[in-house]
Chains A and B, each alone.
Chain A
Amino acid sequence: MELSVTDLACQRGGALVLQNLNFVIPSGRALILRGRNGAGKTTLLRTLAGLQPPSCGHIKVPPDSIIYSSHSDGVKDMLTVAENLMFWGNVFQKPYANAARQMNLDGLLSRPAHSLSAGQKRRLGLARLCISDRPIWLLDEPTISLDAASVALFEIMLRLHLQNGGMAIIATHVDCGVDDMILDLGPFRPVKQLLPDGFDEAFL
C-alpha cells in the first residue's frame, strides 16, 4: 500500500498555491510538511482528504484509507468525553477503549467536554485517529496546545501507527519525533499564475 501524488496542483480562493507536486509515501513512513504560513500546507491536506478537487494532477490512494484531522477537533461540548469517543467509534464501527487509553483519557471519560482544557480537547480529537483504524493519517498541526507529556503520548501513538504499516502526512512547525521524510512546500509555489480550469482564468 502506498500513497502517490503525481503532478498535483492545488488552489485556494481562486488562486493556485501549489504546483508540480510529486511524492510517494510507502507503507510505514511519515511525511512532514514544512513551509511558512500560507505556503499551502492545509490546502494540500484538504485536497488529499478529498474535501476539495485538485486543479490538476492525480492522487492515488486505496479507497477508504484516509483519516483527516483539521485545526479543529470536532469535539461536541455538550457531550461527555466517553460519548464523543463513542460517537466516532460508532461512525467508524470500531471500539474506542484502546484509543482512550493511548491518549490517556481514561480518567476524563465521564467529564463533559466543555470542561476540558484546550490540550485535553486536542487529545480527544487525536484519539479519533486511533479509533478510525485507517492507514493514512492527514494531520494539520496535531501538537498545537499540547504539553510536553501529551506530545510524548502522541509521538508514541504515531510511532506505533507507523510500525503497524500506517502512513502519515503531518503539517507542523515543531519537531514531531519522526523526522522521516521532509517536504518543504516553498519551492512548489507557482511562479506564474496559470490555472487550466479555474473560474477566473477562463475569462482571460
Chain B
Amino acid sequence: MGRTLAEKVWEQHVVRRADGEPDLLYIDLHLIHEVTSPQAFDGLRLAGRKVRRPDLTIATEDHNVPTVLGPIADPVSKKQVETLRKNAAEFGVRLHPMGDAGQGVVHIIGPQFGLTQPGMTIVCGDSHTSTHGAFGGIAFGIGTSEVEHVLATQTLPAYRPKTMAIEVSGELPPGVTAKDLILAIISKIGTGGGQGYIVEYRGEAVRKLSMEGRMTVCNMSIEAGARAGMIAPDETTFAYLKGRPHAPQGEAWDQAVAHWKSLRTDDDAVFDKVVEIDASMLTPYVTWGTNPGQGLPLAESVPSPDSFDDPVARSAAERALDYMGLRAGTPLREIEVDTVFVGSCTNGRIEDLRSAAEILRGRQVRTRTLIVPGSMQVKVQAEEEGLHEVFKAAGAEWREAGCSMCLGMNPDTLKPGERSASTSNRNFEGRQGKGGRTHLVSPQVAAATAVTGRLTAPADL
C-alpha cells in the first residue's frame, strides 16, 4: 500500500523507533522567538547543557516589538527581548533583532530566507508553526519544555498523528481567497475536528494557490485542532524557493528538486479521514463568535443560539454573542467596526498587502486602520512597489514589522468593547486586548471594511 506525504516525511526523520515508545524524530529547523524561549534557555543553563545544533536554529524578535520606530517602552517586554539577545549570544544562535533587515514574524522569515524547504521537520514554540507545512514538510508548534528538548538534542519524542485529507475541488471564485477557504474549512470541521491529525490540503483549488495563499491555509490548521497542515510541493513551491539565500544552488538544487518531487501522497495511499469541500461554492467568510469555528459567509446573519442542536455549541454561541455584543438575526454586513488590522503570520505577506492596497487605492478609510508588514523585507518590498503611499493616502497607518495586534503583546491593542476586522488567526475573548471583539477576515474584506466602517466585501463597494 502506498504512503501519504505525511507518512513519508515522518519516516525520513525517525532517529529511533522502539516498541512501546514514541518515535524519536530529528528536527531540521528550530525557530525561536522571545516569548517561549527564556525558560528553555534557563533550563539548559541549570543542567549545564549546550545548544546541540545552533546551525539549525534561528531567532527573531516579533511578539513584543512596537510597530512604531523607537525603543520598547514597556520594561517587561524590553527585558524579555533583552533576555533573548543575551541567550542568543551566549548559546551562539543567529538572531534578527528589531531594526535588522532580516527581522520579522518568525513564520514569515523562515520561508523568506529559503530556510523552509520541502520535506523538512520544523518546530517553534508557537502554534502557528503549521504555516511552514505549505512547502510540504511537517511543521508544528511546541511548548517551552519541548523547546528546551530540541535545543539540547535536536530531536523530539512524538507519536505519529493520524492523517487527514482535506480535498478542495473546483476553483475559488474571483474575490474569494485562501483565508476564506480556511475559515470555511474550520467552520465545517470545528475547532476540534483536526485534533490528533496531520492535515494534507489537496485538490485543484489548493494546487492553484500561490505560496502565500498556501501558507495562509496551513497557518490556521491549528485553529481546526490539527498540529500540522501540509501541501505537497510542486512547481509553484520550487519557483518560490529558487534563488533564496538558503535554498540549494547548482547541482545541489537539482538533487533537492529530484527528492522533493517524490514528496507526494501515493495514488493508493489511504488517509485515516477524508473531508471534501467545493471551492466553487465559497464566498467571503467572516467569524461572528469567539472561536475560529464560529464563522459564516458574509452574506448571512448572526446566528441564533437556538439554531444549534448540540447543547455545547448552543451555550458556546450564547456566550459568544454576549461577549461580542451581537444580536441574533443581525446581518453580518451591518456590523460596525472601530479598527481594521492587516498583518500577522496569517496575512502579513507581500501578496496580502498588495490585495489590500488594490482596494484602498483612491479611497479613504473610515476606521483606525493598521497595516503591519510581516517582516522588514516585506516592508521594504511594499515600499518599493509604492504600496505604503497608497495606504497613507487612504488614511491608514503604515507600521514596522511584528506580530502587533494579532495578540496585543505590544502597544497595538483594542480597548474594552472595541471591535475589529482582523486578518489574523484568533478571535478568542480578549485576544487583541482585554474586552476587545474580533472578526476574522481576509485582507480584501479587511480593506473594504475599512472603507465603509462595516463588515464589507470588495464587491459591495
Instruction: Verify that A and B bind, or say they do not.
Output: no
On A, residues with C-beta under 8 Å from B are: none
Task: Please give the residue numbers on chain B whose beta carbons come within 8 Å of chain A beta carbons, in ascending order.
Answer: none
